[in-house]
Amino acid sequence: MSEKLYNNLLFQSIFLMLFLILVGLLIPNWLVFVITKAIAYGLVGLGIITLMRGGLVSFGQGFVFGIGGYTAGLLGTQAGLTDAMLLLFVSFLFTGLVGLIIAPLLARYRDIFFAMLSLAFSMVLYGILIKIDAIGGSDGFVLPESTYFGIKPSSEYADYLLYVVAIIMTGFISILLRYYYDSTPGLIALAVRENELRVEYLGSSAFNVAVLNFTIAAGLGGMGGALNGIALGHIDPEFTYWTTSGEFVFISILAGYLSVPAVFLAALLLELVRSFSGRYFPDTWQLILGLFLILSIIFIPSGIGSFFKQFFDRLKKSNK
Amino acid sequence: MNFFRQCLILMSSILISLLTFVGISNADGHKGFKLGVVTFLSGPAAEPFGVPAWNGGKLFIKLLNEGKVPAPYNKKGFGGMKITAIPIDESGGATKQVQEFRNLVQRDKVDAVLGYVSSGDCMAIPSVADELKALTVLYDCGTPRVFEDASYKYVFRTAAHAAMDNIAIAKYLIEKGHDISSIAGINQNYAWGKDSWKDFSVSVKKLSPSSEIKNELFPKIFSGQYGTEISALMNSKAKVVHSSLWGGDLQSFILQAKPRGLFKRTQVVFSAGDHVMPGLGNKYPEGVILGARGQYGMMAPDTALNKWFYKSYMDEYGVFPAQPPYRMVQGLMGLKMAIEKAMEKNGGKKPNKDEIAAAFKGLEFDSPGGLVQMKLGDGHQAIQPHAIGTTAKDKDGNITVTDIVRYKASCVNPPNGIKAVDWINAGFPGADC
């Protein structure tokens, strides 16, 4: 049964990726760009959801988002590395490594203490970044235009190529994450969320689960930051500011922890609401955005993912 | 396969809704001129800066569309084309602005973007503007680096950069015989603040080599609390305190420093100090030396164009126009002149961005603040005449600006091709005063 499900998952995901790549040719440039950006934010949200499965929420994912962005940016400006795929991958690995180093410190804490300590990390990084004038201080800096396998595309196709790269890399990462969520350590995370003490009595380590999840979340956040930086072509310390971290938390709450695609949908939804309220209500866009946040928390408390789950559960029932 | 079919149905419905949505948002075919306007509409920079700027812009666009502006701006709209403005909030940092800019260009398909108060935004936008080939007019931001460190094809700045403000203040201090044996500065920690302080301190050093620098403070932009900094400035006992704070930051600084006597104890100079006067009124301290980043507001020249603008703004909003509305109107005037010049050349058709950019290069036009010349950065960066004054109470007890000294554009701006800071360091060669 499970074997069949997994094959099915791989098939479904690749089908979805191809579909999205084709859709990218039909929709206008700005929407391609907005989706790319939503993918970047969704990646970070996915990291938070990985943590949420183990009962932890990070208020400081801006920390890894910023590290990933600056890694990609500095490799681009200082080392002349401009291949988008390579930049995303290196940022993923490097930020994951940073995550692994600080994870043992954070993993000892739970609840609000974990959240506040992660927030502290991100704000310390923010404080450092705005003081370093060599990399633009609070102005940030402009990234060189990225290349794809050594080819520099003309500006009409640059957005689309980055979109394709983002879809492919994110698609495969999402598949791997689904496998991870359904694996033994992934399921132990859910058990930790329910009752940490009992998990320890049964011989598993809640600490190790938290370290592993934080490392994964860091890698994902780093890749999201790199993707966001490359897409915008500009990076500044605002990436690590607490309001940015807050957005990631909101995306994860809007998505819920039940479904992987829901995270990207939530990020896209937030991006569209923000962008259109800014466009049509320039004086009161924060009010519209705030109303959207409040209403979505009141009416979909367990997230968009719960719709997905209901939908697929019903499908499975009808197939029987 | 039932499952697979259901998935297909789901996907095609998503696709259809996406395409309809796109169709709707692209539906408005446009004959006039679509202009994106970016300025602060929320946050601490909105009330003293962004909103008055947009008020001025809104009024001017309305009068242009009605054809009620005096010559040489008496053609309706931009060369007969009706102007439709799309205002966008500038708050949220440079990265967000890059995104909003892309939305304006790619989604709304604007013909040009006029905007940007924050120097950080002005450093981030031009490279994107050139990449997207989008005509962009920077109307306010001050950092000289925009056209000194790079060159852009489609980006223009219709106002002088900040070097002028600080050079003129240094000259004013010396001409009026103020004691500049020691100076201190409080400036925001980003492009504008850093560049302003550098230009000011180097100018003072150049004009009076014996003066010493006491404190260099760089609080974060929009921090709003300056208790510690004010203590440090009071303790340093510097003769002159320089600040390029602006917007809500400047208001907070004045309100926090005044009761502690900073303005009585030291000579404070504000390089961009006038735009909080309408808001603060008589709470504004006396004896402060200030610039308005041009001959604006209370320091505006006595010309017919200025009288018309001052009166129109005053009638509409009930307060006098300070620096922000002047600068936005200046940007709109430059854009209008460039478009109309391009139309003369191509026989009256709606010009494309290459034609407008070609006409914009090296353009000269009259504004309420005096003659604007696109002379620096190979014709992309404006210079303009400047004025510095000192605040005082008039006989009714209202705060006003007196002791105004006017400077020619060529006296306080570097010549083309020389970086502002190099020009100051070299001792202002070729300055025509």
pLDDT tens digits, residue range A65-122?
A: 999 999 999 998 888 888 888 899 999 999 999 999 998 888 888 888 988 998 999 9
- If asked whether residues B167 and B184 sit together in one domain, one would say yes
pLDDT for B45 equals 84
- If asked whether residues B169 and B289 sit together in one domain, one would say yes
* Mean pLDDT, range A148-177, rounded to an integer: 86
Banded model confidence at residue B8, pLDDT cuts 50, 70, 90: low
Residue-wise pLDDT for B192-219, tens only, equals 888 899 999 999 998 889 999 988 999 9
**Higher local confidence (pLDDT), B433 or B14:** B433
Rounded to a whole number of angstroms, the distance from the CA of A187 to the nearest CA of chain B is: 26
- If asked whether residues B286 and B374 sit together in one domain, one would say no
Q: Is residue B292 part of a domain?
A: yes
Rounded to a whole number of angstroms, the distance from the CA of B40 to the nearest CA of chain A is: 9
Statement: residue B304 has pLDDT above 50: yes
* Three-state DSSP class for residue A141: strand
What's the pTM value of the predicted model, to 2 decimals?
0.83
- If asked whether residues B40 and B152 sit together in one domain, one would say yes
Q: Residue B168 maps to which CATH number?
A: 3.40.50.2300
Percent of chain A at pLDDT above 70?
Answer: 97
pLDDT for B432 equals 85
Statement: residue B257 has pLDDT above 70: yes
Neighbours of A19 (CB within 10 A): 17
Considering CB atoms only, which of A28, A140, A235 is closest to B106?
A: A28
Q: Is residue B138 part of a domain?
A: yes
Mean pLDDT over the full length of chain A: 85
- If asked whether residues B136 and B126 sit together in one domain, one would say yes
Check B95 against A29: CB less than 8 A apart.
no
pLDDT for B27 equals 46
Statement: residue B136 has pLDDT above 80: yes
pLDDT for B19 equals 60
**A vs B: CB pairs below 8 A:** 112
Q: Is residue B21 part of a domain?
A: no
Q: Report the C-alpha gap between B387 and B181 in whole angstroms.
A: 24
pLDDT for B291 equals 92
User: Which residues from B are below 8 Å from A286, CB to CB?
Assistant: 42
pLDDT for A44 equals 93
Considering CB atoms only, which of A23, A27, A234 is closest to B95?
A: A234
Structural domain containing residue B307 = 33-160+302-383
Q: Which residues contact A284 (CB under 8 A, 6 or more apart)?
A: none
Check B123 against A145: CB less than 8 A apart.
no
Percent of chain A at pLDDT above 90?
Answer: 20
Q: Report the C-alpha gap between B331 and B114 in whole angstroms.
A: 7
Banded model confidence at residue A1, pLDDT cuts 50, 70, 90: very low
pLDDT for B29 equals 46
Question: Cis link prior to A153 (omega < 30° from 0)?
Answer: no
Check A23 against B18: CB less than 8 A apart.
yes
Check B120 against A239: CB less than 8 A apart.
no
- If asked whether residues B367 and B278 sit together in one domain, one would say no
Considering CB atoms only, which of B2, B6, B106 is closest to A33?
A: B106
Q: Is residue A319 part of a domain?
A: no
Q: Is residue A76 part of a domain?
A: yes
Q: Is residue A314 part of a domain?
A: no
Q: Is residue B22 part of a domain?
A: no
CB B187 within 8 A of CB B253: no
* Mean pLDDT, range A23-34, rounded to an integer: 86
User: Which residues from B are below 8 Å from A30, CB to CB?
Assistant: 102-103, 106-107
Q: Is residue B247 part of a domain?
A: yes
Check B133 against A142: CB less than 8 A apart.
no
- If asked whether residues B107 and B255 sit together in one domain, one would say no
Banded model confidence at residue A191, pLDDT cuts 50, 70, 90: confident
Statement: residue B4 has pLDDT above 70: no
- If asked whether residues B340 and B225 sit together in one domain, one would say no
Check A139 against B107: CB less than 8 A apart.
no
Neighbours of B5 (CB within 10 A): 9
Top residue of A17, A279, A280, A318 to mutate, by most chain B CBs within 10 Å, is A279
Rounded to a whole number of angstroms, the distance from the CA of B223 to the nearest CA of chain A is: 13
Check A238 against B96: CB less than 8 A apart.
yes
Check A140 against B95: CB less than 8 A apart.
yes
Considering CB atoms only, which of B22, B99, B190 is closest to A37?
A: B99
Structural domain containing residue A76 = 2-239
* Mean pLDDT, range B156-180, rounded to an integer: 91
- If asked whether residues B405 and B351 sit together in one domain, one would say no
- If asked whether residues B106 and B204 sit together in one domain, one would say no
Check A235 against B189: CB less than 8 A apart.
no
- If asked whether residues B99 and B119 sit together in one domain, one would say yes
Residue-wise pLDDT for B356-373, tens only, equals 999 999 999 999 999 999
* Mean pLDDT, range A55-62, rounded to an integer: 88
Q: Chain A contact for B119, CB < 8 A?
A: yes
Statement: residue B114 has pLDDT above 60: yes
CB B406 within 8 A of CB B304: no
**Higher local confidence (pLDDT), A304 or B117:** B117
Least confident interval from A279-283, B101-105, B248-252: A279-283
Considering CB atoms only, which of A15, A19, A30 is closest to B107?
A: A30
Statement: residue A123 has pLDDT above 60: yes
Statement: residue B351 has pLDDT above 80: yes
Statement: residue A213 has pLDDT above 80: yes
Look at chain B and report how many structural domains it folds into.
Answer: 2
Q: Which residue is associated with the tokens 């053609």?
A: B75
Look at chain A and report how many structural domains it folds into.
Answer: 1
Q: Report the C-alpha gap between B163 and B425 in whole angstroms.
A: 12
Mean pLDDT over the full length of chain B: 88
Enter the tokens of residue B433. Answer: 């005063």
Q: Which residue of B has its CA nearest to A316?
A: B3
Considering CB atoms only, which of A27, A133, A138 is closest to B221?
A: A138
pLDDT for A206 equals 82
Enter the tokens of residue B186. Answer: 């409080």
Q: Judged by CB atoms within 8 Å, which residues 175-194 of B form the interface with A? A: 189-191, 194
Chain centroid, CA A135 distance in Å: 25
* Mean pLDDT, range A201-219, rounded to an integer: 88
Q: Is residue A193 part of a domain?
A: yes
Statement: residue A181 has pLDDT above 70: yes
Q: Is residue A289 part of a domain?
A: no
Q: Which residue of A has its CA nearest to B10?
A: A311
Neighbours of B23 (CB within 10 A): 9
**How are strands ordered across the β-sheet holding B155-157?**
B83-89, B33-39, B112-115, B136-138, B155-157, B381-383, B370-376, B364-367
Q: Is residue B99 part of a domain?
A: yes
Considering CB atoms only, which of B95, B190, B191 is closest to A232?
A: B95
- If asked whether residues B379 and B390 sit together in one domain, one would say no
Banded model confidence at residue A3, pLDDT cuts 50, 70, 90: low
Check A319 against B18: CB less than 8 A apart.
no
Check B123 against A139: CB less than 8 A apart.
yes
